[in-house]
Structure 1
Amino acid sequence: MRKLQVQGVHHITLTGADRQTSLDFWEGVLGMPFIFDQPNLDNPDEGHLYFDPGDGRLITIFTNETRRAVHDRTPTDPGCVHHLAFAVSQATFEQAVERLDERGISHSGVKDRGFMNSIYFTEPMGLLIELASYVFEPPMGCSHADVLIEAHRLRVARGDHNIGRIHLADAIEMLVERRQDSLSSDRGPKNPY
């Protein structure tokens, strides 16, 4: 028996409202370029809008001109999607509250998650959206996941409740030391003062 090894999210498709409401939210609020549309090939009564969330992958929306925004929270029963999280820069994240407030979009306010900051609000059909911004940059040649797995190991070894900035800083130091060789025979911390 062998795995079906995935290599990333190809696309996510959501059931949206009418075409204009979908365009106004996904491009007009979240800034995702609208890259193409066509009919829903499985349902001739629906359109199918394609957006780039920033990494060249796709968020697609099925639209129907008879559907209107409902603003009720989508179900969170087991098996349902709880929320979608989109990455934003720290510069954008620092403007999120102001930019949501100016549109009258209700939100959670900023949540410090230790390794990232988050803010939550619902899209027009009630799906919870998270804007997430890492509070660290991984070292050259490493991914955020590389840092997080090391930070997790440190957190567990230290008996801490959740990943904090100290775990991230120590994980980054470990990854740099592991990844980049040095001519020094002793790479330990020093105090030259």
Structure 2
Amino acid sequence: MSNDDLTPVTAEPPDAPFHTTGTDHVTVWGSNAEDTIAFYRDLLGMPLVLRQPNLDDPSQTHLFFDTGDGRILTFFVSDDRPSARGQRPGVGAVHHLCFSVDPEEYEGIMEALEAAGHGYNVFDRGVFHSIYTRDNNGLVIELSSDKYEIPDGRKGEVLAAAQRLREADGADFAQDRHMEGALEELGLPVVKHDLPDASAGTGVN
């Protein structure tokens, strides 16, 4: 019997330096925008709620879909990548996993990662604020907090409104003014969390 078999299986939170609060989004290396939208929006019925450059590589497009409960599935796509069937590295592979965290635990999370020997980067991504690190396999893990309070089930609606305001503004990606405008437009309170200052981590404006 391995040590893993002795680990208790329980729904109770473990004794850990912090606890995630849920899955925020999963991002996948996709093929091209046309085929991705045809499948996820037109076939599976997921609204396309945000489209902007991949902030790490603006030559690619970042598509955000509302999976139906406010949780988001996103894809990095490029017109020069054909769709392919069958699991393989590259198209269809997971780029990173993102988990929601409580904004009040943000500083403690960074301290815990550092104490555990995990390097990290912090970025202000416009619609959310993120800590990036890697797991034991080298997979990129994002620990994300919404910059603004968004009621359960309303995230896709807020992002879609921010997308429209972003386009009207001519901005390359959604920023604070678009999120605040979206919340106000939808009659939701504008409550911004106290998160550390950080860059967007990109050269696009």
- What is the TM-score normalised by the length of structure 1? 0.52
Q: Are the structure 2 counterparts of residues 55 and 89 from structure 1 closer, same or farther at C-alpha, using a change threshold of 3 Å?
A: closer
**CA shift at 1:144, angstroms?**
1.7
Question: After the TM superposition, which residues 14-163 of structure 1 pair with which residues of structure 2 at under 5 Å, given as runs?
Answer: 19=4, 54-55=21-22, 77-107=90-120, 109-138=121-150, 143-163=154-174
Contact 2:99 2:142 in 1 (8 A): yes
Query: Where does residue 44 of structure 1 map in the other structure?
Result: none
Percent identity of paired positions between Structure 1 and Structure 2: 32
For structure 2, list consecutive stretches of 5 or more residues without a partner in the other structure.
Answer: 24-87, 189-205
Greater strand share, structure number? 2
Q: Deviations for 1:120-146, whole angstroms, at most 9, x for unmatched residues? A: 1111122211100010012x5761221
CA distance, structure 1, for counterparts of residue 152 and residue 114 of structure 2: 38
Runs of 4+ in 1 over 6 A off after TM superposition: none
**Residue type of the alignment partner of 2:4:** R
Contact 2:21 2:101 in 1 (8 A): no
- What is the TM-score normalised by the length of structure 2? 0.49
Contact 1:137 1:144 in 2 (8 A): no
Larger relative CO (CA 8 A, sep 6+): 1 or 2? Answer: 2
Would you say how many aligned residue pairs link Structure 1 and Structure 2?
117
For structure 1, list consecutive stretches of 5 or more residues without a partner in the other structure.
Answer: 1-17, 33-52, 57-74, 178-193
Contact 2:21 2:102 in 1 (8 A): no
Contact 1:152 1:163 in 2 (8 A): yes
Q: Deviations for 1:100-123, whole angstroms, at most 9, x for unmatched residues? A: 00111122x211101111111111
* RMSD after superposition: 3.2
**CA shift at 1:54, angstroms?**
4.1
3-state secondary structure, aligned to 1:94: helix
The answer to which of 155-164 and 88-97 deviates more is: 88-97
